[in-house]
Amino acid sequence: MLCYFPSQFVLLGRSLSRSLTGAVAVAAASACTGTAPAATEAPPPPVHAATIELEPVTPISSATAEILANRQSNMRAETAGRVVDVLVEAGDRAKEGDVLLRLDVGRPASAAQAANAAVAQSEARLNQAEREQARTKKLVQTGGLPEQRLDDAVDAVRLASAARDAARAEARLARRGLTDAVVRAPFGGTVVERTVEVGEYLAPGSPLLVLADTSLLKARVLLDPREAIDVAVGSAAVISVYARPGEIFSGKVVRVGEVIDPRTRRLPVEVEIDDAEGRLRPGLVARFSVETGEPRMVMRVPLEGVFERFGRQHLYVVSDGIAHRRSIVLGLVGAGFAEVTEGIEPGETVVIKGVTRVVDGSKVRVVPVETVSASSTERSSEP
């Protein structure tokens, strides 16, 4: 390339210095050489990678459920009466058979006395009918009375016997009224709620108190049948309670429903919770992860390394410093990991963090995860 340099530069003003003239000459000389400055190549993006191996994984199914008491009784009055004594308060412990409250026994006692008197009358009538039957039988045998009179006497005995049985049943019912006036604990537990006060008049069926047996806690967990159809009694369960963050409790399956719940279309299982230290309470909500089968060998990758392209799941496989996009098929997904059933082989290295900085077929620099800075992420573009 030829360049012509004029011997004289036309200056716009006499005030321009000779230094400006020299700078212009240098720039013109550089332009005439025809060489451009070399472009700087961008360094490979930093990523975090891991080698995928087969590992034993126990299949689980998770669901949220409410913690329940082992037994809970909403106790109600079985007889009418006025409350004369309340022996417990909410939060008190009671043993089986302990007296919780008493009702006025005046009316039940009177009813029991009347029933006993009715029993005595019916027994006296029965004795009288039996004696009359014996006399009638002798007279019939001697011909003093016709056979019909004997039949009437036998029927009278039967009627008197039935009346006596009815009176005895009434007496038992009246005596039960006396028993029902004293309310006892049907099992050992804690008084959760008391709804009556001394002096209140109660009708049969009126609510009295709520008694709960918290010596053992359980939960009715509804699991996805696609994951838990083969769950067995005795399977282990891991429980995390929202009110106890950071604490993990254990349990086991004690019952498996035979019928899918018609409302939720899920499989009901009953889980007993191991809470020897008494850290939990009925009514708390917890997350239950139940083992649903035997451990099996699978390949898992972090979900951070999986992305979607063209309606399929992909990840990047690193080979000789080059990232290659690979289509995969996922299995079970949970706890931040995904099972890979097709697309990769054990021993291959995949990108598990920083996939947004990677382009298919480009070089990458594998670094520890803590050195992958947020600033480098912001400078990179979406592949």
More confident residue, 109 or 344: 344
Q: Is 152 helix (H, G, I), strand (E, B) or coil?
A: helix
Token pair 């321009």 is found at 16
Instruction: Average the pLDDT over 219-240 and give the result.
Output: 92
User: What counts of helices (H) and strands (E) characterise the chain?
Assistant: 5, 21
Judge whether 87 and 100 are in contact, CB under 8 Å: yes
State residue 372's pLDDT score.
Answer: 38
Sequential DSSP letters for 258-325 = SS--TTT--EEEEEEEE-TT----TT-EEEEEEE-S--EEEEEEEGGG-EEETTEEEEEEEETTEEEE
State residue 295's pLDDT score.
Answer: 86
**Whole-number average pLDDT of the chain:** 82
Token output for 75 = 């106790």
pLDDT in tens, 344-360: 899 899 998 888 888 88
- Say what percent of the chain tops pLDDT 90: 37
pLDDT in tens, 46-76: 988 988 889 888 888 999 999 999 999 999 9
State residue 40's pLDDT score.
Answer: 67
The terminus-to-terminus CA distance of the chain in angstroms comes to 42
Instruction: Average the pLDDT over 110-120 and give the result.
Output: 81
